């Protein structure tokens, strides 16, 4: 076979293609002209492509005319048929009548009569012919004559001429428009016709909608910025701490492409939903909130109260303060065991009662179980303890002296100095509100007087203000008052060699008011600049403590740029050295102000606690004290709990918490890399049993409801080491991070009864502190390097020993210490401050102990940490309630004769039995000598003195306390919550109140959305739903009188201030806390 190229088809030439195209066009034209399949109802002469000018003339008229002619022809046929029928019928009828006549002559005729009496004539049998227009076999004929045909033809021609004219379209469009108006607007058509511009607006909206103008999303070409730019903008906003809501709206606008109107609509709907949810009550709240009566009038008859004089009423209110807060526990009373409570509160003090009052207001049945005899934590002198003999020969009125003079006199061992009173009153108001007063009759008096600038603290720091050549025993006392940071900076400039702050003179040469928080004009003052930096850091404290209510996911979503949150894991010494490197005196003073209530050096103190204390001490609001002392405040809170159906029981010996039993589940072996190192490397993951109540030492069990809760304000360590059963702790562990914290050394309180008023003894309401933990540091020049200074350590004495830390020595000999495990320590330390028995299980499972030499802690006169307060000088009602006497409370750290430290994880203290011999008396004598040395006017005024304690004082304020994840109200055990100052700041009234507020909100179950975005919490809900006081008292002059729980004479106090030579008008000693 021959192989060759593949032949290609030839293309037709241009001439052939032209001919073929012409042929196709001709064929198409011929086919169109023939019109093989004409359309229906078209003229026979219709040609495709040509439009007839008049369809009626060309199509409809011929057909209708043809039908009309047929109708006339059919009518003619019917008329002919009718004529024939009628002629034939007449002939038949005539014949019939002739036949009937013949028959009638030979027979009677019977006629038929109808109901009306008419004779019915019999009809003939012949049928009547049908008219030609009503033929049953066909349609009715419309055309019958030629005239009808002519009229119909005229009608067709007129109709054709009408529709062929231009006016037809106008009429048709008008009719269509009328129909459309009826269909669109219906009953609103008259409104549209009277306002035609509305029609235009609707048409524009319809046109916009058809073109996609109402879509909530933009088209890609209409985006304001491209995606890269949008992401960069969002990143920059995040770095500048823009709120999360603004970031979300920016992302919706730039990335998603929402229209502006859609964004505004979304914000409006969100705002509406937020306001709606704000006004909704949380689950468990009552429909109507109970209006509580004041605790001093709720048990009396209203008529009897009106009859009492002012003096009698004052005496009865004072008598309430002599009674301890709470009902003494009676083991024989089984009602406490038989009742079920919604919330059990374990603890004492104002923070515990505050949390209970909030929960009681919110509809919970609360029971407070306090281990102390007085829930207010006030202490009275015991007649069984040996007393300090009187130093004076003067006898009191009636011959009383010594202990008899101070019988049943309360000593405020907590020293309730309240900082930031405006914020605290706002928190306390929902819990204290009664029918007669927004604060339950409780008022707060400013500590100090206008002469001393309302001084509330006096700090004595070893070496401060001296050249240091004579040792660290010399010191210059520093008075902290309410004159603000600028006044403190001026003291640092004049006495400590710091730079001066900015000018305090305005443009007119007048001195500016320095009693404000404006720190803009720092000038050359390093101390004022440091205070300004601390204020900026402390601004994020509220957000940080609020985050303790969030879960781990929501907590991570909160702002990581919070400076206060970052300061919780840093030490105060680093911040002090960095900001104040030039002047060791200023550095030492700031360290003292930052932590006066604890003997802890800045090298161990958390920076967050340092900043918070410093801002509270230097605030222009100063410090306030409740009129009537802690008992007045706690009586009011306890009364709210009892009136809402709860109970407040004191003197309860707690043993251990009660838990539900979990169903037995086969435990899987845990992997080594997933151990919970917060619990000594043991894996305690999995479900935890629910806490259902508490067991007392007498065996009585007090339980809660199925959805109830147990709230412990005793502290983290007492709750998890003393109250948590050993088997539960061993199986399920403690809260995360607890082994990392340390317990603060317990405190001793020396109660001193003084003869004389505060004016006679020249006493002040300011607390006096000796702070070796802030001892002046010794800065040294580095040899060989010009100008380089080696900063000394704050809180180190002349011998180079640290004196500002737990377990550090201040005199005394060394002694051997020991270390134990958590289980052994928890079994060793007993409940209620006593030394418990060590169980066999705990001893058997204890790890081998190791010993190390440890320096003892002994009180050294003139050197050890010490605090002296005069509660009677702070209370303006004291002189009326207890004339001619005053009280003094001295606080020191417990010696090793009273407590024993266990260097465990966590480090805790065991409270020992009473020391042998006269160790307690010798310690009391040393403390009283220090008191007389610093307050010589008291040398012969002391009637009696008594040592009490030791008292547990919570956790050490080191970074570990704030860094652990378990220091939050919710615990790993369902139904168990913790509260109190351990959650916030130790030894602080404000810290305890905030801790109770956090715990109460956690029990009520407020969510992240409620707390952060809706600003909805327990106190805000109570403010919204509680009724305002309505039973106000009106005086004789028509003025509204304040219903005070503890009456006092504010005008008399002002008069004394004026007599002292104060030029300025002093403020009231007790400020009204009524919300206006």
Tell me, letter by letter, the H, E, C secondary structure of 613-669: HHHHHCCCCCEEEECCHHHHHHHHHHHHHHHCCCEEEECCCEEEEEECCCCCCCCCC
Residue 905 near residue 822, CB atoms below 8 Å: yes
Q: Is the pLDDT of residue 137 over 80?
A: no
Of 711, 700, 713, 722, residue with least CA distance to 646: 711
The H or E element spanning position 752 is: strand 747-755
pLDDT, position 93: 74
Q: Is the pLDDT of residue 365 over 70?
A: yes
Q: How far is CA 706 from CA 342, 776, 977, in A?
A: 8, 57, 15
Residue 815 confidence class, pLDDT cut points 50, 70, 90: very low
**What average pLDDT does the chain have?**
77
Residue 1067 confidence class, pLDDT cut points 50, 70, 90: very low
How far is the C-alpha of 844 from the C-alpha of 847, rounded, in Å?
8
pLDDT, position 803: 56
Of 350, 340, 405, 341, residue with least CA distance to 372: 350
Q: Of the given ranges (39-43, 290-294, 967-971), which has the lowest mean pLDDT? A: 39-43
pLDDT, position 134: 56
Reported as a single tens digit per residue, the pLDDT across 642-663 is 999 999 999 999 999 999 987 7
How far is the C-alpha of 692 from the C-alpha of 423, rounded, in Å?
34
Q: Where are the extended beta strands (E) located within 269-392? A: 327-328, 341-346, 366-369, 378-379
Reported as a single tens digit per residue, the pLDDT across 860-913 is 888 899 999 999 999 999 988 888 899 999 999 998 889 998 888 888 999 888
How far is the C-alpha of 127 from the C-alpha of 107, rounded, in Å?
27
Residue 785 confidence class, pLDDT cut points 50, 70, 90: low
How far is the C-alpha of 733 from the C-alpha of 739, rounded, in Å?
11
What 3-state class would DSSP assign to 913? coil
Q: Is the pLDDT of residue 835 over 90?
A: no
Tell me, letter by letter, the H, E, C secondary structure of 939-977: CCCEEEEEEEEEECCCECCCHHHHHCCCCCCECCCCCEE
Reported as a single tens digit per residue, the pLDDT across 987-1026 is 888 999 999 999 999 999 888 888 888 888 999 989 888 8
pLDDT, position 571: 92
pLDDT, position 712: 94
Q: Give the CB-side neighbour count of residue 104, counting CA atoms within 13 A.
A: 9
Q: What is the pTM of this model?
A: 0.75
How far is the C-alpha of 50 from the C-alpha of 599, rounded, in Å?
112
pLDDT, position 696: 93
Listed in sequence order, the DSSP H helices in 647-800 are: 716-717, 726-732, 758-761
Q: Is 465 left (phi over 0), alpha (psi -120 to 50) or beta?
A: left
Q: Is the pLDDT of residue 721 over 60?
A: yes
Reported as a single tens digit per residue, the pLDDT across 755-784 is 999 889 989 889 999 999 888 888 777 666
Reported as a single tens digit per residue, the pLDDT across 916-939 is 568 888 899 999 999 999 999 998
pLDDT, position 637: 94
Which residues 6+ apart lie within 8 Å of 541 measured at CB? 564, 608, 611, 612
């Amino acid at each position: 076979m021959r192989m060759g190229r593949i032949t290609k088809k030839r293309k037709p030439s241009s001439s052939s293609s032209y001919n073929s195209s012409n042929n196709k066009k001709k064929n198409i034209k011929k086919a169109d002209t023939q019109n093989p399949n004409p359309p229906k109802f078209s003229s026979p002469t219709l040609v495709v492509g040509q439009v007839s000018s008049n369809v009626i003339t060309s199509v409809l008229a011929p057909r209708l005319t043809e039908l009309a002619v047929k109708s006339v022809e059919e009518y003619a046929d019917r008329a002919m048929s009718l004529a024939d029928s009628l002629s034939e019928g007449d002939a038949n009828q005539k014949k019939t009548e002739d036949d009937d006549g013949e028959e009638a002559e030979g027979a009677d005729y019977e006629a038929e009569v109808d109901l009306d009496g008419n004779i019915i004539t019999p009809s003939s049998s012949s049928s009547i012919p049908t008219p030609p227009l009503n033929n049953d076999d066909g349609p009715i004929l419309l055309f019958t004559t030629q005239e009808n045909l002519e009229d119909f033809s005229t009608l067709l021609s007129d109709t054709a001429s009408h529709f062929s004219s231009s006016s037809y379209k106008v009429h048709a469009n008008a009719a269509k428009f009328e129909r459309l108006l009826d269909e669109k607007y219906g009953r609103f058509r008259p409104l549209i016709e009277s306002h035609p511009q509305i029609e235009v607006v609707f048409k524009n909206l319809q046109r916009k909608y058809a073109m996609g103008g109402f879509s909530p999303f933009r088209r890609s070409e209409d985006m304001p910025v491209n995606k890269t730019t949008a992401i960069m903008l969002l990143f920059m906003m995040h770095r500048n701490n823009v709120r999360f809501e603004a970031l979300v709206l920016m992302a919706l606008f730039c990335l998603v492409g929402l229209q502006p109107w859609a964004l505004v609509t979304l914000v409006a709907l969100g705002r509406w939903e937020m306001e709606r949810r704000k006004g909704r009550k949380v689950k468990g709240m009552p429909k109507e909130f109970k209006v509580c009566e004041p605790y001093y009038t709720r048990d009396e008859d209203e008529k009897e109260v009106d009859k009492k004089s002012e003096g009698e009423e004052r005496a009865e209110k004072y008598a309430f303060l002599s009674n301890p807060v709470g009902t003494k526990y009676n083991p024989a009373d089984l009602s406490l065991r038989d009742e079920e409570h919604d919330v059990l509160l374990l603890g004492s003090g104002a923070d515990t009662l505050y949390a209970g009052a909030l929960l009681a207001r919110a509809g919970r049945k609360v029971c407070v179980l306090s281990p102390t005899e007085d829930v207010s934590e006030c202490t009275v002198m015991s007649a069984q303890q040996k007393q300090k003999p009187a130093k004076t020969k003067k006898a009191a009125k009636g011959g009383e002296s010594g202990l008899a003079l101070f019988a049943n006199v309360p000593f405020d061992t907590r020293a309730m100095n309240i900082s930031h009173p405006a914020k605290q009153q706002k928190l306390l108001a929902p819990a204290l509100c009664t029918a007669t007063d927004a604060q339950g009759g409780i008022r707060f008096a400013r500590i100090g007087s206008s002469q001393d600038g309302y001084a509330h603290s006096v700090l004595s720091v070893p070496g401060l203000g001296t050249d240091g050549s004579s040792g660290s025993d010399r010191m210059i006392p520093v008075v902290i008052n309410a004159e603000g940071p600028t006044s403190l900076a001026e003291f640092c400039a004049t006495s400590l060699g710091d730079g001066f702050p900015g000018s305090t003179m305005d443009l007119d040469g007048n001195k500016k008011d320095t009693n404000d928080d404006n720190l803009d004009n720092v000038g050359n003052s390093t101390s004022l600049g440091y205070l300004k930096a601390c204020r900026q850091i402390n601004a994020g404290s509220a957000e940080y403590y609020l985050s303790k209510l969030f879960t781990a996911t929501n907590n991570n979503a909160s702002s990581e740029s919070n400076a206060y949150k970052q300061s919780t894991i840093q030490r105060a010494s680093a911040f002090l050295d960095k900001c104040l490197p030039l002047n060791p005196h200023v550095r030492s003073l700031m360290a003292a102000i930052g932590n006066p209530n604890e003997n802890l050096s800045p090298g161990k103190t958390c920076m967050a606690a340092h900043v918070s204390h410093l801002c509270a001490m230097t605030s222009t609001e100063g410090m306030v004290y409740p009129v009537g002392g802690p008992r007045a405040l706690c009586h009011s809170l306890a009364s709210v709990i009892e009136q809402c159906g709860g109970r407040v029981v004191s003197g309860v010996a707690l043993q251990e918490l009660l838990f539900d039993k979990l169903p037995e589940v086969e435990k899987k072996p845990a992997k080594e890399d997933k151990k919970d190192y917060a619990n000594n490397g043991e894996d305690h993951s999995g479900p935890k049993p629910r806490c259902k109540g508490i067991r007392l030492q007498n065996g009585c069990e007090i339980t809660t409801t199925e959805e109830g809760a147990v709230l412990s304000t005793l502290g983290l360590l007492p709750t998890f080491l003393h109250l948590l059963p050993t088997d539960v702790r061993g199986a399920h562990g403690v809260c995360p991070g607890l082994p990392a914290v340390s317990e603060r050394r317990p405190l001793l309180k020396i109660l001193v009864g003084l003869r004389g008023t505060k004016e006679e003894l020249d006493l002040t309401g300011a607390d006096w502190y000796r702070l070796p933990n802030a001892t002046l540091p010794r800065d040294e020049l580095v040899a060989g390097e010009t100008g380089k200074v080696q900063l000394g350590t704050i809180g180190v004495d002349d011998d180079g020993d640290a004196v500002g830390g737990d377990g550090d020595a201040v005199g005394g000999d060394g002694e051997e210490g020991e270390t134990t495990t958590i289980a052994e320590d928890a079994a060793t330390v007993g409940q209620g401050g006593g030394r418990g028995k060590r169980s066999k299980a705990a001893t058997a499972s204890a790890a081998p102990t190791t010993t190390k030499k440890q320096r003892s802690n002994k009180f050294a006169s003139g050197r050890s940490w010490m605090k002296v307060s005069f509660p009677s000088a702070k209370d303006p009602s004291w002189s009326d309630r207890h004339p001619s006497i005053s009280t003094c409370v001295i606080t020191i750290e417990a010696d090793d004769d009273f407590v024993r430290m266990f260097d465990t994880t966590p480090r805790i203290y065991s409270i020992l039995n009473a020391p042998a011999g006269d160790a307690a008396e010798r310690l009391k004598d040393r403390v009283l000598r220090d008191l007389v040395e610093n307050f010589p006017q008291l040398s012969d005024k002391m009637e009696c003195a008594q040592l009490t304690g030791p008292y547990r004082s919570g956790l050490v304020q080191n970074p570990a306390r704030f860094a652990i994840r378990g220091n939050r109200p919710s615990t790993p055990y369902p139904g168990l919550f913790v509260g109190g100052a351990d959650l916030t700041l130790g030894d602080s009234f404000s810290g305890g109140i905030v801790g109770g507020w956090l715990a109460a909100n956690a029990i009520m179950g407020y969510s992240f959305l409620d707390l952060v975005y809706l600003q909805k919490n327990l106190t805000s809900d109570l403010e919204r739903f509680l009724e305002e006081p309505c039973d106000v008292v009106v005086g004789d002059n028509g003025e509204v009188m304040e219903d005070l729980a503890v009456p006092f004479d504010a005008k008399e106090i002002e008069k004394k201030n004026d007599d002292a030579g104060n030029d300025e008008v002093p403020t009231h000693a007790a400020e009204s806390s009524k919300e206006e």
